[in-house]
Structures are given as C-alpha cells and as structure tokens.
Amino acid sequence: MDAIAAFLSISWPKLIEMLAVATLFYYLLLAARGTKGTVVIGFIITLGAVYFVCTQFQMITLKTILDQILFYGPLALLVILAPEIRKMLERAGKTYALLEWFMTREEAEEQSPILDILTKTAQELSEKRIGAIFVVERKEPVIEHLVPGTELQALPDKRFIQSLFEKHNPLHDGAVVIREDRIWSAGNFLPISESKFISDELGTRHRASVGLSERCDAVVVVVSEESGEISVAFNGRLARGLDEAQFIEQLKAVVEPNETFASIVPRPAFI
C-alpha cells in the first residue's frame, strides 16, 4: 500500500520526466540494435550491476578500479562508437520527414513513372537470372557514400537499363543510380555492410545494398544472379524473398512519402 501511495503522490512533472527518460532509452536501444552499440549497452549494464554489488559489499579495490573505468569510459566510448553516433545523429537530423505529414493526399498518391519501369525491369532481370542493383536516391545525396561510376543522365528505358547489366557491358558489376526520374549513372560501387545480422549465404550485392542504406536514406533494389530473388534494402534493413506483389508493395512503401517498410517481412529480415 505504501508503494501505491508513493506512486500516486508523484507530481505530473516527475511523471512526464519518467516517461521521457523511458522513451529516450527505448529509442536508444532501438537505434543501437544490430550495431556495436548493442554490445556496449550490455557491457554498461553488466558493469553497473558489478559496481552496485561492490558498493554494497564494500569491495574497495574492485570499486576503485571500476571508478577509474567509469571516469575514463565515456571518452573511450566516444572514440569506439564514433561511426554509430554519427549515423544516429544523421537520422535524428532528418526533420524533413515531419513536413511530409502536411502533404496533400493527391501529392502523396503521385507515383514517379520510373517506379513502374524499375519494377518491370527488375522482374524481367529476375526471370533471366541477371544480377542487378539499383539505387533510388531520395532526399540525401548518395554520391559521398559510393565510388562513382559513369555519369549518364539518361531518360528511363527498360531495354537500356537491362543492357547495363548484360555480361558484355563493362558497367554490369556496378550499381545504377536513379535520381530525379533519370538514370543518373552506372557502374557505381557501394560500401559493404559490416553487420553481423546478414546471412552468410548472401553475396556482395546484398551486403553492398545494406551498406549504402545504413549510411543514407536511399532505397536499394537487388536482383540475385544465382536465384533470381528480388530484395529491397532500406534504413539498414533487407526484405528478401519478395514475390511480384510484395516487391511492388515494399518499393512503394519506402519510395512514397507514407513509409511502412517491411510490413510483410518482419525485422530482422536477414535469413
């Protein structure tokens, strides 16, 4: 009863503060999932538990050592987790996403004509077992995250796009970048993801697609040369094994303003 009375006596500002802290920790854990941050957070929790035990049982020597670790630890974490912290800050800084809620329904329902060409091209390449990787640039420029290939700035055409991935074409190993409804460039090489959640059976194209999606808001479509499987990478996640209807749904979900990515394939989708 005393505990209930103490809880009911909490003022509204304190209650709001508790909810804010809980929400902050929730999103911190969510953002850290699948990165080095997960291991570090687990280590910090364990360290805190050991420090509590040392304090309670007066383990002076061990407590002194932990005091030094806790004093210099934050600086070490800033160095170790610098890439992850940068990514989290970049994600947090995407304030443009809030503006999309104010778009009219007509604007949200507009579909770029290149989306239709992209889906049909990917499906035909899948049937022919021709490997391919497409990068659909969104708000953030992708040029700083990849090794640039040959600039084309060509109008979208299904046959032309397919020819870029034919074996005789010197650009076939790289990715095609789609920007502003144009085939902007081909033969681009993407950064490889270091995520441990990616299945060992996946090749370089899939790892590269996830790698780029970890660094910016681009949507990456991958066609497997071995199986013809179509996958979609976005925000460090990979939706695999999509049939035609699922592929179109997932692609629209991330390219169009109302984002509900991976409504079919739960996270993590690395299997």
- Residues 220/213, Cβ–Cβ less than 8 Å: yes
**SS3 (DSSP) at 81:** coil
pLDDT in tens, 45-90: 888 888 888 888 888 888 888 888 888 877 877 777 676 666 666 5
Q: What is the mean pLDDT of residues 213-221?
A: 91
Distance between CA atoms of 21 and 13, rounded to whole angstroms? 12
- Residues 136/169, Cβ–Cβ less than 8 Å: no
Distance between CA atoms of 49 and 72, rounded to whole angstroms? 18
113: nearest Cα among 174, 184, 180, 173: 180
- Bond from prior residue into 268 cis (ω within 30 degrees of 0): yes
Distance between CA atoms of 202 and 80, rounded to whole angstroms? 28
Q: How far is CA 183 from CA 28, 64, 94, 156, 229, in A?
A: 37, 61, 25, 6, 23
Q: Which CATH architecture has domain 112-255?
A: 3-Layer(aba) Sandwich (3.40)
Who has greater pLDDT, 258 or 91? 91
pTM: 0.58
The percentage of the chain sitting over the pLDDT mark of 70, rounded to a whole number, equals 75
**pLDDT at residue 236 is higher than 70:** yes
Query: Which range, 6-10, 15-19, 77-81, 170-174, has the best average confidence (pLDDT)?
Result: 170-174
Tokens (6 digits) for 221: 């479509």
Q: What is the mean pLDDT of residues 183-209?
A: 89
Residue that has been written with the tokens 């508790």 in this structure: 18
How confident is the model at residue 33, as a pLDDT? 58
Handedness of CA 109, 112, 208, 202 (dihedral sign): positive
Who has greater pLDDT, 87 or 170? 170
pLDDT in tens, 107-135: 444 456 788 899 899 999 999 999 999 99
131: nearest Cα among 206, 67, 50, 224: 224
How confident is the model at residue 262, as a pLDDT? 42
Query: Domain residue spans in the chain?
Result: 2-99, 112-255
- Residues 131/260, Cβ–Cβ less than 8 Å: no
Distance between CA atoms of 263 and 247, rounded to whole angstroms? 11
**84 Cβ contact partners less than 8 Å away, ≥ 6 residues apart:** 32, 35, 36, 37
Pairing mode, strands 132-136 and 175-179 = parallel
Least confident of 9-13, 75-79, 247-251: 9-13
Average pLDDT of the chain is 78
54: Cα within 13 Å, side-chain hemisphere = 15
